[in-house]
Structure 1
Amino acid sequence: MSHQYYLSKDTMWKATISCDATYDGVFFYAVKTTGIFCRPSCKSRIPNDENVSFFGSADEAQKAGYRPCKRCRPDLCVSKYDPLTFILEDTICLIKNNYIQNLSLDDIASNVGVSRFHLNRIFKERIGCTPRMYLEKFRVNKAKELLLTTQFNSTQIGYQIGYQSISSFYSAFKRNTGFSPNQFRTLHVRNCSNQK
């Protein structure tokens, strides 16, 4: 039997309007007017109490015809849901899988379902840099790998890792490593031969 049935409607309503995370996983609430169900901790707008139904599980809410909220993701089987963690993971995954594309901050933000301002802010708080800086670092690391493992020249590598212009590739590489791509390759080749 679900814990939800041991709670009064009043207790669940109070937990809902106070966004009380201690009730996450204990019950879910659904809003008739939107057709969406949420965790008690969801930060979405407080609904009118006459439009709210309570459920003991996400399955019950879905069987009743409600869709999971995109903000609090009540369909995920985690007891404590931190939406920022999932936004960051989705952003990093998107960057790693699409770094050769011409990705703008708007593209990244709309793909993960948040505003560019919000994404920039949480990325800086949690990762220490913006998504664009993260993309640049990821591309430069790929370039370093290609410089040391292939015979491609710097121009070929720049285009292969998603840069539209070679000057922007050179600038990004120098900003992140302190060297031009050719200096980096020469230095590492020399270091390897000195160690033999």
Structure 2
Amino acid sequence: MNEEIWRAIVECDPAYDGQLYYGLVTTGVFCRPSCRSKTPKRENVRIFHTPSEARKAGLRPCKRCRPEEQEWRSHEEELARQLARLIDGHYAEPLSLQSMAARLFVSPYYLLRCFRRVMNTTPARYLQLTRLEHAKALLRDTGESITAVALQTGFASSAHFSAVFHKEVGCPPSAYRQLADRDSRKGAGPS
């Protein structure tokens, strides 16, 4: 096995998934290069180009990375996607890291770590941006008051909503609405 392949196994590089598989003669298991199991000893690793080659050598598939499945997602990726769907569907509700973790049956720390690793942001930031996107749509498309928009999108008060909106969007909600009204008359709304 060359150094590049060994580095891919040690670094759990998903770029090699589907191109090769590694088997452990000590455990009788074969994995994808991206498997997050404990780094094996190099002398115990054998390389295979297909899952069937590994099976013919007497190895069984890893239960963690499921190397025989075509569309594989790690547990972390699946958990992050579940949390994103939860936030997208319940952004208007009061959501805390603890309450979201309880709904997904994991610890808050593990949920935060997985989400940050997969999505490159925190659940709180994702929630805030989701709420702001929905608020922008309500400001553009309805005549609801700023307070009503704030409450419908999960903000505790219009003051907090206005402060967050101004910081993230660059203008207060009322100014955003005026820009949207003006631009809609011209045929293009603000982003």
Shorter chain as denominator, the TM-score bin is 0.5 to 0.7
Residue 142 of structure 2 aligns with an amino acid whose one-letter code is T
1:95 CA displacement: 0.5
Please tell me whether residue 182 in structure 1 is matched to residue 167 in structure 2: no
Please tell me whether residue 14 in structure 1 is matched to residue 31 in structure 2: no
1:180 CA displacement: 1.0
1:121 CA displacement: 2.4
Structure 2: how far apart are the matches of 1:15 and 1:107?
A: 40
1:147 and 1:181 in contact (8 A); partners too: yes
Deviations 1:70-112 (A, max 9, x none): xx597xx666441111101110111011111110011112222
Residue 90 of structure 1 aligns with an amino acid whose one-letter code is Q
- TM-score if structure 2 supplies the norm length? 0.62
1:21 and 1:80 in contact (8 A); partners too: no
For this pair of structures, how many residues does the alignment match?
A: 139
1:171 CA displacement: 2.0
Over the matched positions of the two proteins, sequence identity in percent amounts to 24
Question: Which of 81, 95, 108 pairs up with 1:103?
Answer: 95
Q: Cα distance 1:129–1:79, how it changes in 2: closer, same or farther (>3 A)?
A: closer
1:165 CA displacement: 1.7
Deviations 1:102-151 (A, max 9, x none): 10011112222332222222322322211011001001100111111111
Q: Cα distance 1:105–1:146, how it changes in 2: closer, same or farther (>3 A)?
A: same
Structure 2: how far apart are the matches of 1:128 and 1:81?
A: 17
The farther-off stretch of 134-143 and 105-114 is 105-114
Across the aligned residues of Structure 1 and Structure 2, the Cα RMSD in angstroms comes to 3.0
1:193 CA displacement: 2.2
Q: Cα distance 1:120–1:175, how it changes in 2: closer, same or farther (>3 A)?
A: farther
